[in-house]
Structure 1
């Protein structure tokens, strides 16, 4: 929940920042910029500063890397190796290899991950479906599992046997099922809501 509590403010600030830059109506742009500036001043410095790391993903998402199939594979493999080294180094030397370095390296690697991947059709469909519910799953899974573990298991740990595997599978299936339900009720309509907001405020 700590991560979500931080990211909540990024989801508030990012639209304000976009509106301040993109709006053609000066008064609305000034209002958005003023509110964005106030929130950046009001929020703790570390939280506001780390929005820059969060924005790395946005910048990388707009990037495109096209070096042919063979070249893309090499860059993906090279990026994976560099990112793994940086991630390991962040545990060893956290002062020098901080969140900014880890986020920046991953953002530089991310465009190389775009493009076509050779995968069976069923795997593509499954990946697309999981991607659709990924944010809802991220939001829902912790409070749901926390409630289930505290109310059901009451602090007990299960053994790595058949019963334990069954309990784990049940928790996993239940969490995904609840997330799909929440996604269907709310996030599925995100695009239509976004289009309505753009018509009203664009």
Structure 2
């Protein structure tokens, strides 16, 4: 089993977070807002809570990414290789991103023909995602290239209708920034190359990139870096301390989610909710990362957690164009109430989106290592050919 997947609970959280993002977008497109429902029953209230944490789940992704990706850089230490790292990160991103952009383009053509009001921003107030107006929607070659180079929200809009692509720009630039910072500090550089000039230049480049990035991306970098706290905590907690941290983390994380949903509290205190969610999840994540591995690594829970984590990226990139298609062509502005009939439809659509995410993984993401090995072997093939 891959070293990453020894962290079974983090696998579970990562998979659950991707499903939460998908479910939140689907609910906005198919089920009426809670304000329109009036006073719902306990089941309905639980449904709205469970499907209302999409943005918060992205903050969870950032912390987990800092732990896994930042941790891999730190583990490399003096053996860090920029070329291998770049190949690993880019193959991981592009193998799924390319077909997701193609799916987005196809769905965009269908919507342009059958529901053009979606592309002109008519559904933004209802779905809380997608283009604000016709000037924001873009499926041009320039926007496509910008998204392939992870410049969406920086120099170009997200491509087409696929609003969740915004976070991919954050991730990519954090992948770039952290190794630069690590080299500048001296964590990831060979001793013979640890002279002051290269480290100063590398640090200056990191500062320049931070200055160039938009404020939203810059601010969220601190959330990504919280994953390093989790990394450094591994194996350092006694069982008693771990239990205390677990309780504190669960209470704090639940409180942070509540805070993120309270406009009144945020206006009164003036604290942005995203870093608070990141910090509180970081505490919980410290406890989860220090849990011992399950005795039975073939248990249903371990297999479920591993599977959910494995296809989470494919689900994240593929779901929203299909949600837009379902919402625009199936429901329009007349959405369902969360009664038995409405919840059954919602569950059916969610199952379909999860299945598509699984197909995306099977067709593309599972071949990431194969693509990586092929690209890594190109120089040797070229030398043999010449």
Instruction: Report the TM-score, using the length of structure 2 for normalisation.
Output: 0.43
Aligned to 1:127: 305
- What residue is the counterpart of 1:140 in the other structure? 318
Bigger RCO of structures 1 and 2 (CA < 8 A, at least 6 apart) = 2
CA deviations over 1:60-115 (Å, ceiling 9, x no partner): 245315322x5533321221112223443453135135432332232132110122
Structure 2 partner of 1:108: 283
- In structure 2, what is the Cα distance between the partners aligned to 1:64 and 1:198? 32
Map of 1:1-202 to 2, 5 A cutoff? 4-5=165-166, 7-20=167-180, 21=183, 22=188, 37-61=207-231, 63-65=233-235, 66-68=237-239, 71-90=241-260, 91=262, 92-93=265-266, 95-96=270-271, 98-114=273-289, 115-116=291-292, 121-193=299-371
Q: 1:17 to 1:198 in 2, by over 3 A?
A: farther
**Secondary structure at the residue paired with 1:128?**
helix
Q: Cα distance 1:101–1:159, how it changes in 2: closer, same or farther (>3 A)?
A: closer
CA distance in 2, matches of 1:170, 1:85: 31
Work out whether residues 53 and 100 of structure 1, in 8 Å CA contact, stay in contact via their aligned partners in 2: yes
Q: What is the CA–CA distance in structure 1 between the aligned matches of 2:280 and 2:250, rounded to whole Å?
A: 10
Tell which deviates more after alignment, 119-128 or 191-200: 191-200
Structure 1 8/39 Cα, relative in aligned 2: closer, same or farther at 3 Å? farther
Deviation at 1:119, TM superposition (A): 9.3
Unaligned residue ranges in structure 1 (runs of 5+): none
Partner SS, residue 50 of structure 1: helix
What is the CA–CA distance in structure 1 between the aligned matches of 2:355 and 2:222, rounded to whole Å?
Answer: 34
Shift of the 142–199 alpha-carbon distance from structure 1 to 2, 3 Å rule, reads same
Q: 1:53 to 1:59 in 2, by over 3 A?
A: same
Q: Is the 8 A contact 1:133 1:183 kept in 2?
A: yes
Q: Which sections of structure 2, spanning at least 5 residues, go unmatched?
A: 1-161, 380-386
CA–CA distance in structure 2, aligned partners of residues 17 and 134 of structure 1? 24
* TM-score (normalizing by structure 1): 0.75
- More helix by proportion, 1 or 2? 1
Shift of the 195–112 alpha-carbon distance from structure 1 to 2, 3 Å rule, reads farther
Root-mean-square deviation (Å): 3.7
Contact 1:17 1:32 in 2 (8 A): no
CA distance in structure 1 between the aligned counterparts of 2:202 and 2:322, rounded to whole angstroms: 35
Q: Quick check: 1:76–1:112 contact (8 Å CA) kept in 2? A: yes
How much has 1:185 moved relative to structure 2?
A: 2.2
Equivalent pair of 2:246/2:284 in contact (CA under 8 Å): yes
Does the 8 Å contact 2:230/2:286 carry over to 1?
A: yes
Count of equivalent residues: 198
